[in-house]
Structure 1
């Protein structure tokens, strides 16, 4: 199979419902961080706002934010970033009657024959056959390597197994990773594996718990803090393998956001959640594909700032592909329940997922 980009079909604004719609109402923010009453809350879908008789697309969006009219553009802001006097779009209908249109079916793909009304195995569970998903994702990654920006959201399990850790490192080296979002644990255990050969005190090859192994991750954090940064630690300690090593070597940005239960943490970990959220969103606003693996909280956080589309530099609009991979059906379904309605879920062991994708990309 080969990847084919779905076509974006713009709304037909010549239809009477759009032509006769009023301009969207704008109301100033009453004070910093506060939206006016009846503000419009954004979704994951493309949204158009009628201003001076013209329908304008919010070119960069995320759910649960407010739409602001600024410099003849529709700008999407978190409420915490509102300033007094910002012109905020108000109205809570989405079908153009208040000058606001939410477009939920924008992309055209090849259609299948109509399915019977009674069919088996339409959910995404442990029993689902995922071979076609792996094939499609491998072709998508080949396309994105030259045309897009792929962000991976990693939980610590991605560093626990030597084979999958090595395979993901090769994904970074091979140019299939444009940024990584994770927590303190992923980076800590990956560096621990390179520094000591264990992850959370367990040998990454034999899975044997090492004597005094519970010290290993905090010894690693301590060593990194001594050097002042992950980059300095990698360079000065002669680290030559792993996910973080390849990120440093290949200038792949990573955003590490903290948790109340973190050890250490590593120097680069954001302790302020809003600074961390800003840094994550800086990567997401570039992303054309997002793949979340074995980290429910980071996946939900990322999902909350990931729309279904991306406006490219040449003005074309394309879908933003969003995957969630976890061994737990609860974890992937939780993401969908929190508003990421178009997420593609894969229920499997994360090490198996990494190995399957890597084999299809011929990097192992």
Structure 2
């Protein structure tokens, strides 16, 4: 059976008694990076603002930003990017009474009245049965390859295993990867594996530590910096395979955002956190499915920038978001941070990548 996107049910403002609701109040920002008192902080859900007597949907959203009226529409803007004089939406209610309506049920299916009040194992844990999740994901990825944009957020654990690297490289080649977000370690250890066969000095197949192997990742960074870029390093023939290798060869964009502990780092790594956040959000804006694996830092950052919907060719559709980690704490942390529509899978990400590759590529 082919995958079908669920229909979006827009709010019926007349039925909600909001046909004659007041326009949203717009107050100029007093200075760059400062918003007026009583500003409305945005959410991950579709949000409508009453402008000129009509309800206008913000075309995209993200948590903890503000709504600014621009060109007759609503732009969702980070506090740091607000400019003096920007007309900022003001109001702390979300029920439409102040011209702001947050729509949380647009993709909900009608629930059966026969559901039981009590049942076991309703949470998501290492004991959860994930067979249906995998099958649903395979259908989704095949659909998204043709009709959407698939973004992967990856920690360095994805590079430490030979089979996982090979499997993800196949996903890139087969068109199931439209973008990658990660840090310095992801690219460094993947490139180390591609030219030295190790990750942090340990053979990626046998797990044996190599003589002087603790130099390998630093030597790799140095080699890349000598040539000036990851692209030049791949073009030199020094690296033969892997995740970053396939991304470069196929022209798949990747964004690497650094941290205070980074070695080197690689030339493409963003050292300025806000420049890195902007680069991440540029890829996130295109994504219709996001899969985060074994990187709590980058997963939470991505979740905070990701709405639960996307407007494509004028049609509102769901944005699918997965968090995969062997730690229940890691996947639950994202839900605790407000990403309420995330689907969590508690498993070893190396096994997960291989399963997904086998499920969609054979």
Query: Normalising to structure 1: TM-score of the pair?
Result: 0.98
Secondary structure of the structure 1 residue equivalent to 2:97: coil
Give how far 1:116 is off. Answer: 1.0
Aligned residue in 1 for 2:353 = 354
Q: Is the 8 A contact 2:47 2:57 kept in 1?
A: yes
Aligned residues: 362
Q: Which residue of 2 aligns with 1:158?
A: 158
Give the equivalent residue in structure 1 for 2:94. 94
The answer (yes or no) to whether the contact 2:18–2:96 under 8 Å persists in 1 is: yes
Show the counterpart of 1:309.
309
User: What is the deviation of 1:112?
Assistant: 5.5
Unpaired segments ≥5 residues, structure 1? none
| CA pair 175-47 structure 1, distance change in 2 beyond 3 A | same
The Cα shift of 1:20 comes to: 2.8
Root-mean-square deviation (CA), in Å? 1.1
Pair 1:245 & 2:245 matched: yes
The alpha carbon displacement at 1:17 in A equals 2.1
Q: Are the equivalent residues in 2 in contact too, given 1:7–1:109 (CA < 8 A)?
A: no
Distance in 2 (CA, whole Å) between partners of 1:85 and 1:156 is 43
2:174–2:361 Cα contact (<8 Å) kept? no
Structure 2 runs not aligned, ≥5 long: none
The answer to whether residue 23 in structure 2 is matched with residue 23 in structure 1 is yes
Contact 2:195 2:240 in 1 (8 A): no
Q: Which secondary structure state, in structure 2, belongs to the residue aligned with residue 84 of structure 1?
A: coil
Contact 1:7-1:108 within 8 A present in 2 as well: no
Q: Structure 1 residues 36, 200: closer, same or farther in 2, change over 3 A?
A: same
Residues 206-245 of structure 1 mapped to structure 2, 5 A cutoff:
206-245=206-245
Query: 1:264: how far off?
Result: 0.3
Give the Å deviation of 1:352.
1.1
For residue 108 of structure 1, report the CA deviation from its aligned partner: 4.3
Q: Tell me how far 1:14 sits from its aligned partner.
A: 2.1
CA shift, 1:110, in A, is 7.1
Alignment of 1:108-257 (within 5 A): 108-109=108-109, 111=111, 114-257=114-257
Structure 1 window deviating more from structure 2 (15-24 vs 292-301): it is 15-24
Change (3 A) 1:32 1:325: same
> Residue in 1 aligned with 2:38?
38
Deviation at 1:238, TM superposition (A): 3.9
